[in-house]
Amino acid sequence: MAGAIIENMSTKKLVILGVILMLFQAFSFMVGGLIAPSPTAAVSYLATKCVDNEKTHHKNPKWFTPWGPDQCSKIKDFDEAMVKKIEANNIVFAIHIPPPNTEMSTWFQFLLLILHFDIAFKIQNQIADGASITIDVRLAYRDDKLSEWTQMAHSVEQRKLSCNFTAAKTIENEGRLYDCDLLPFMELGSVAHKYYLLNVRLPVNERKKVNIGIGEINDMRLVGIHQNGGFTKVWFAMKTFLTPSVLIIMIWYWKRITQMTRPPVLLEKVIFALGISMTFINIPVEWFSVGFDWTWMLLFGDIRQGIFYAMLLSFWIIFCGEHLMDQTERNRFSVYWKQVIPIVFGSFCLFIFDMCERGVQLKNPFYSIWASDVGTELAMAFIIVAGICACLYFLFLCFMVFQVFRNISGKRSCLPAMTKARRLHYEGLIFRFKFLMLVTLACAAMTVIFFIISQVSEGHWLWGGHTVQVNSAFFTGIYGMWNLYVFALMFLYAPSHKRYGDEQSSADQVGNSGEDTQLTTTITHVDGPTEIYKMTGKEAQE
C-alpha cells in the first residue's frame, strides 16, 4: 500500500533530512545576526526657521531650503522674530531630508516621519486642555542639488497635543519645556528620490481659533525612520534564493499528487495551497521598487503577509483536525467552517484597518489614523485584540494537538496484537507524527510571538510607548522557518513510490480462512487521512 514519504522513508534518511533543515534554520538566523545590519535606522532632524516676506505666499508659495546655495533667510528663535516684527504666519519650518552631504537611497524602501515639538512653559501662554495644532505642510523632492523642487504632496493636518509639565507652574519655571508625546507625521511607501524637502507652517487665526492655546513653540523636531539598505539587500537576496526552492518543491509535490489514481484529499489540497501562499510572499517583486516609484509596495507587502497568515492558521486547524481520529466524517472543508471563518473574518478586518491607514496614504502621506482620538483608540484596540486573539488561537491549537495525542495513545492499545514488523512500522509512524506535531506547535508559537512583537514594534513610534528591540536575526530566522516548514511538509507528505509491506506479504496474508474480525485504526495520513488498516482475527491473536 503506497503511502506518504514520511511513512516510507527510513529513519536514517529522515534524521539526515532533519539535520539539513536544522542547519538551514540556523543559517537563516545567522544571516540576519552576522551579515545584515539592524532592520531600520532613525535619524533626528531639527527644523530651520525660515522667513517668508512674500505677502502672496498663499497663491504662489515658494520653497524654503535650510542650507545650500538657495538657502532661505533664517532666524534663530522667536525672540528674534518679535524684535524684527515677523509674524507667526510668515515663519516656515524647513526640513531637508537627508542631512547635508548625504542622500537618500531607493534601498531604504520606506520613510516614516515622527513629529515632536519643543514647547516652553509660559504662564501667559499655557497649553489648553485638549489643544490641537494645525499644520500646513508641503513635501517636495529633487534628484540633484541644482534642480528645482517638485511638489509631491500638500495637506493641512491636525494633531492633538498631549503634553505634561512635571514642575510647578510658577514664574521661576518659565522657559522649561513640556514633556510632549510623539506625533505621527508622514509615511512614504517608497524612497525613489535622493532629496526631500518639507516646508511646514503653523498658521494662526484668532478669529477661527486656529493654533490658539498651543503654548510657546520653540522648535520643531522630526525623527526619520527608514529601512537600512544593507538589510534590504540581504532580505532581497534571501527571498530570491528561497523563491525557486519552494516553487520547485511545490510543482514536484503536485505532480506526485496528480499521478495518484485517486483524487487529492483535503489535507493534500491545503498543503498545496500553503505552498502557493508561501511562493506568493516569496516572489521578490521588491526588486522593482529599486527602480520604480511604487508607493504601494508597503500595502502590497501587508496584503501578501495577511494572505499567508490566514492560510497558515487555517492549515494548522485542518492539519490537526484531519488527524484527530474522532470517528467524525472529515476530508471536507465544510467540517472546519466554524474554525476557519473567524480566521477569514480577522484577516478581512486587518485588511480594512490597513486600507484605512496605508491605503489613504497613497494619496495623502500625511494622513494617520493615530491623529484623532477615535482613530488612536481603534488602532490601540486593534493591537490589543490582535494580540489576544493570537494567544487564544495558539491555546486552541495546543488543545487540538492534545486531543490528537490523546486519541493516538488510545489507538496504541491495538499495537500489541499486531505482527512485530507491522507493530514497529506503526510505532515509527506514531513517533514521526508526534514529532511533526510538536514542530508545528513550535512554529505556531514563534509565528504568534513574531506577529505580536512586530505589531508592537510598528506602533510604538506612533503611540509613544516602549518597544521590544527586534533585530535582523529574528526577521530572517522566522522567515526562513516558514519556508523550511512549508518545504518539509510538501516533501514529507508527497505520495511515496514505495509500497510498505511487500516484504511481509506472507505474514500479512495469514488467517484467510474463517470470518475476519475487523479491527480498524487510523494512524496517519497514508492514501488519505481516513485510510483504514484492517487486521484479521488470526493476525490479532498473533
- Do residues 6 and 71 share a domain? no
Do 475 and 39 touch, CB atoms closer than 8 A? yes
- Cα 505 to Cα 131: distance, rounded to the nearest angstrom: 84
Please tell me the predicted confidence (pLDDT) of residue 510: 37
What is the pLDDT at residue 49? Answer: 92
Residue ranges in the chain whose pLDDT is less than 50:
1, 460-469, 500-542
CA torsion 318→338→479→376, rounded to 10°? -170
Same domain, 89 and 150: yes
Residues 295 and 252 reside in one and the same domain: yes
287 and 219, same domain (yes or no): no
Q: Are 265 and 332 in contact (CB under 8 A)?
A: no
Q: Is residue 542 part of a domain?
A: no
Share of the chain above pLDDT 70, in %: 82
pLDDT digits (tens, 9 = 90+) for 321-336: 887 766 566 778 888 8
d(CA 361, CA 359): 5
Instruction: Give the cell for residue 348.
Output: 478581512
Q: What are phi and psi of 375, to 5 degrees?
A: -65, -40
Asked if residue 149 and residue 203 are part of one domain, the reply reads yes
The last residue of one of the domains, among 193, 227, 261, is 227
Instruction: Name the residue range of residue 195's domain.
Output: 40-227
Bridge partners, 142 (sequence order) = 195
Report yes or no: 473 and 29 within 8 Å, Cβ to Cβ.
Answer: yes
- Looking at the structure, tell me whether residues 332 and 210 fall in a common domain: no
Residues 6+ apart with CB under 8 A from 458: none
The answer to whether residue 87 sits within a structural domain is: yes
The predicted structure's pLDDT at residue 146: 84
pTM for this entry: 0.79
Query: Is there a single domain that holds both residue 250 and residue 208?
Result: no
Is there a domain that residue 508 lies in? no
Residue 189 shares a structural domain with residue 215: yes
Please check whether residues 182 and 328 belong to one and the same domain. no
pLDDT for residue 461: 47
Q: Tell me the pLDDT tens digit for each residue of 173-207.
A: 888 899 888 888 999 989 999 999 999 999 988 88
Give the CA count within 13 Å in the CB-facing half-sphere of 27: 11
Q: What local confidence, expressed as pLDDT, does residue 153 receive? A: 92
- Both 381 and 395 in one domain: the answer is yes
Domain boundary among 177, 201, 227: 227
Measured between its terminal Cα atoms, the distance across the chain in Å is: 22
In a domain? residue 189: yes
| Torsion-angle region of 157 (φ positive above 0: left; ψ -120 to 50: alpha; else: beta) | beta
What CA–CA distance (Å, rounded) separates 381 from 393? 18
| CA gap 523, 532 in Å, rounded | 8
Residue 509 falls inside a structural domain: no
- 541 part of a folded domain: no
Considering the domain architecture, whether residues 323 and 452 belong to the same structural domain is answered as yes
Considering its fold, how many domains does the chain have in total? 2
The pLDDT, as a whole number, for residue 213 is 86
Q: Are strands 195-201 and 2-4 parallel, antiparallel or unpaired?
A: unpaired
Give the domain-ending residue among 227, 245, 260: 227
Structure confidence at residue 23 (pLDDT): 94
46 and 193 together in one domain: yes
**Which H or E element spans position 421?**
helix 420-463
Q: What is the DSSP string of 40-101?
A: EEEEEEE-EEEE---TTTTTS----BSSSTTBPPEESSHHHHHHTT--GGGEEEEEEES-TT
Assigned domain for 540 exists:
no
Chain centroid to Cα 520, Å, comes to 44
